[in-house]
Amino acid sequence: MNFKHILSEIEKSDPEVYEKLSDRRQALKGFGAKVAMVALPFAIGSMFKKAYGQTSKTVVDALNLALEFEYLEYTYYRQGNNTGGLISASDLPGFKAIEAQEKAHIDFLNKTITELGGIPFKPKNFTAATTVAPYVPAAYDFTKGGTYTPFSDYTTFLILAQIFEDTGLHALQGQMPELLSNNGVLQQAFRLQATEARHAAFVRLVRRLAPINAPETPAPWITNNIPPTIPLQPYYLGEDNVEHNRIITTTLPNIYYADGVMPKISATAAFDEPFDKTKVLSLIAGFKL
């Protein structure tokens, strides 16, 4: 996706809208190249304070929601990776890499929030004896009250990994507008989101292939509003939306199909729906102690 081309087209078609976007250009300028970075942004520290001065509470709140999610994901993957015999030998290096990247995200967000004058989120029971920061197993119940057995059944482990990754992407998408006042943070959030999307794609690929052979045959991205299991449908509500910026995407021309019609499954796969903070917290509430 060529963001600079998109901005150029906006400028030609609607100068007024382009002017409103002009101060976001720098945040998008190098986006295409930077998504190839493996883990996340490292340009942190005093640059944010120097460039933007007093940062609004809104930006810190948005980053703290991301941090809360990163603690949950890191603890989940660390616990899974250290459960003997759970993850297949061929998949373990991938999940070890995800665990390391989640930890790097936590370090980045903690430092950035602090540099911006905020107080970083800490999970419940952060001072418990089992805590080896940022691993906080005393903060979570990944069985959701006995409903799931993720650390004794690999298929279940993968299903929960998928909903955590997909929901995390929704959460980041929902918080992007809150970061528009700070281009530096916004750019870093885009990079973090790109890494999380790769995590989701990896989990979905593992579920798709043998020996898991997930029945819904998941793509690397969310298609329509298809959940891994019916009880997890709430995590995908709204993903069947086909209207964006007042355009019905299923009416757009599609040169790859003989009838020229854009299939709904393709139209919905092109967009991730934003989830607000209230919805995100409600979706993970059952996994928190």
Residue 116 sits in a domain whose CATH number is 1.20.1260.10
Judgement on whether residues 60 and 180 belong to the same structural domain of the protein: yes
Residues 254, 207 contacting (CB under 8 angstroms) = no
Domain assignment present for 249: no
pLDDT at 115 over 60: yes
Q: Are 157 and 58 within one domain? A: yes
Report yes or no on 51 lying in a domain. yes
Phi, psi of 209 (to 5 degrees): -85, 165
Mean pLDDT check: name the lowest of 44-48, 117-121, 263-267. 44-48
Query: Highest mean pLDDT: which of 40-49, 61-70, 263-272?
Result: 61-70
Residues 148 and 25 in one domain: no
Residues 50 and 185 in one domain: yes
| Same domain membership, residue 209 and residue 101 | yes
CA 43 to chain centre: 20
Proportion of the chain above pLDDT 70, given as a percent: 81
Tell whether 161 and 189 lie within a shared domain.
yes
- DSSP bridge partners of 261: 253
Give the count of domains, the chain.
2
Angle at 141 between CA 138 and CA 146, to 5 degrees: 140
Question: pTM higher than 0.85, yes or no?
Answer: no
Residue 93 has a CB neighbour count (10 Å cut-off) of 10
- Residue 109: is its pLDDT beyond 90? yes
Residue 258 lies in a domain: no
Residue 274 DSSP symbol: P
Is 192 among the domain residues? yes
The answer to whether residue 261 is domain-embedded is: no
Residues 19 and 121 in one domain: no
> Among 4-18, 178-192, 271-285, which is the least confidently predicted range?
4-18
185 in a domain, yes or no?
Answer: yes
Q: Rounded CA gap, 242 and 224, in Å?
A: 9
Residues 75 and 175 in one domain: yes
User: Mean pLDDT throughout 154-179?
Assistant: 96
Q: Are residues 137 and 277 in the same domain?
A: yes
Long-range own/partner contacts, residues 212-216 (CB < 8 A, 24 or more apart): 212/154, 212/155, 212/158, 214/158
Pair 14, 70 in one domain: no
200 and 164 share one domain: yes
pLDDT of residue 189: 92
Taking a C-beta distance cutoff of 8 angstroms, is the pair 26, 183 a contact? yes
- More confident site: 9 or 146: 146
Got the DSSP string for 157-168?
HHHHHHHHHHHH
In this predicted structure, what is the pLDDT of residue 73?
98
pLDDT at site 260: 78
pLDDT at 282: 97
In this predicted structure, the answer to whether residue 195 has a pLDDT above a threshold of 50 is yes
Would 259 be classed as within a structural domain? no
pLDDT for the residue 26? 40
Are residues 17 and 159 located together in one domain of the fold?
Answer: no
Mean pLDDT of 58-77: 97
What percent of the chain clears pLDDT 90, i.e. is strictly above it?
65
Q: What is the span of the domain harbouring residue 78?
A: 42-238+273-287
275, 167 Cβ separation under 8 angstroms: yes
Q: How many angstroms separate the CA atoms of 44 and 49, rounded?
A: 10
Q: Is 198 domain-assigned?
A: yes
Stretch among 51-60, 116-125, 261-270 having the lowest mean pLDDT: 51-60
Q: Is the pLDDT of residue 55 over 60?
A: no
